[in-house]
Amino acid sequence: MQRKTDVVVIGGGLAGLMAALTTARAGRSTLVLERGEAFGGRAQTQDWNGFQLNLGGHALYKAGPGYTLLRDLNLLPEGAEPKPKGLTLREGRLNLLPVGPLSMLSTGLLSWKEKGAFLSLMGRLSKVDLREAAGLTCRQWLERHIPDPRLRQIMDATLRTNAYAGDLNRLRASTALRRMQQSQKGVFYVHGGWARLVERLARTAEAEGATLKGGQSVAGVEAHGEAHLVRTKSGETYEADEVILALPPAETLDLLPAPAASRLRTVLGEARAVTVSCLDLCLSRLPDQAVNLGLGIDDPLFMVAQSEAAHIAPEGAALVHLVRYHEGLPGEGPAAMRSQLEAFMDRLQPGWRKVLLHARFLPSAPVASVLDEPGRRRPVSEDLGLPGVHLAGDWVGEVGWLADASLASGHRAGLAAAAMAACA
């Protein structure tokens, strides 16, 4: 058995690294065990000949809790805020995406009457009653508040893009509306990809004294007197006063003792994950530089050329992310989804096939571990009934959505574990 540590963090994604940094900064001896050789989990970035490919398009919302936390802890990597210049596609016709007064005046997407109604809706957005919206699905909220079906369709597209989730019949309205409110304060792309954020968290955690070990797949956690034993699949055992599980739900359930796993299963219920299909394209140049964003209105599609703002492609080249949101169970097969994304790109960026250098298609990328639904609450560490074992991840706690939730719950778990370890 290895020397006893104050805190063992299992999982080296954003949640685990934020948790480790927090416990190490509080002076607790901290060990992070990550299954992969590389840290970062879903926030990893792959380099392809100078193109920095995140797992699909990744953006931080500047008004979101994750960005705020990173800024307050002086952990924000370098990046840029994009200036959207976009097109919409509805019923086969392209129109300017209304992102400001000029594009709103000139777009053919909306009639004059619809423009008035849309502007009034945007004006009221910051005052939307999120408590009412928390009890409704997006679909229910839209039907209650937006009588015009054509306007509702535009709001469908806006909500699913901001929430990164296509199942509006189940998604909690307040989750999507809060993201939409936050989007009004701008988004942030990380120069060099999200790996820079991962590195920043990992290096800071190490500088604070944490030890990070890759290639360590954990097989189980069990009580050992007042402490806990963490066993890896390769047969190592670590003893810790506090354990932070910063893993997706299925992996968390696998590691817990049966009674705690059963309590967690009760809270999770029939939880379902949010997936999307992603097509990431490395291009020698962007064929039409006047278009860096594309929004499908009647099809759940999205395109973003993040390299127009972030340094994630070689000089003059372009990195484009396309997303096909899944509206519940994926109806079509991967080949059909890829063709749909390519056809969308044909409309937004004609000529892209001639400048294509490399394409990566992810048919079912796990954006969120658990879909936020009315009537369901996200688990908290106390649900386990296991003193000294803490949960973190995008599916834990009440704060934030996607990476915001991972960072916020990681920080919270780190603070709790540091406080408890001080009493041990």
Ligand X SMILES: Cc1cc2nc3c(=O)[nH]c(=O)nc-3n(C[C@H](O)[C@H](O)[C@H](O)COP(=O)(O)OP(=O)(O)OC[C@H]3O[C@@H](n4cnc5c(N)ncnc54)[C@H](O)[C@@H]3O)c2cc1C
Residue 241 to residue 243: CA distance in whole angstroms: 7
| Contacts (CB under 6 A) with ligand X, residues 299-358 | none
**What is the smallest separation between the CB atom of 292 and ligand X, expressed in angstroms?**
15
**What is the smallest separation between the CB atom of 147 and ligand X, expressed in angstroms?**
31
Which residue number, 15 or 176, has a Cβ lying nearer to ligand X?
15
DSSP 21-80: HHHHHTT--EEEE-SSSSSBGGG-EEEETTEEEESS---EETTSHHHHHHHHTT-PPPEE
Cβ contacts of residue 117 below 8 Å, gap of 6+? 148, 151
Which residue number, 256 or 286, has a Cβ lying nearer to ligand X?
256
- Residue 296 near ligand X by CB under 6 A: no
Which residue number, 96 or 379, has a Cβ lying nearer to ligand X?
379
- Residue 12 near ligand X by CB under 6 A: yes
- Using the rule CB under 6 A, which residue among 217, 237, 262, 339 binds ligand X? 217
Q: How many residues does the chain have?
A: 424
DSSP assigned state of 164: T
How far from the centroid of its chain's Cα atoms is residue 376's Cα? 19
**What is the smallest separation between the CB atom of 122 and ligand X, expressed in angstroms?**
22
User: Judged by CB under 6 A, which stretch of 121-129, 333-341, 362-370, 380-388 contacts ligand X?
Assistant: 362-370
Structure tokens at 162: 């901001």
User: How many CA within 13 A on the CB side of residue 142?
Assistant: 23
| Contacts (CB under 6 A) with ligand X, residues 364-393 | 365-367, 393
Which residue number, 36 or 84, has a Cβ lying nearer to ligand X?
36
Q: At 23, phi and psi to the nearest 5?
A: -70, -40
| Contacts (CB under 6 A) with ligand X, residues 144-163 | none
User: Judged by CB under 6 A, which stretch of 36-44, 103-111, 139-147, 174-182 contacts ligand X?
Assistant: 36-44
Q: Please, are residues 409 and 264 in contact by the beta-carbon 8 Å criterion?
A: no
First to last CA, the chain: 20
| Contacts (CB under 6 A) with ligand X, residues 164-193 | 164
- Residue 278 near ligand X by CB under 6 A: yes
- The contact set with ligand X (CB under 6 A) reads 10-16, 33-36, 41-43, 55-59, 164, 217-218, 246-248, 251, 276, 278, 365-367, 393-394, 402-404, 406
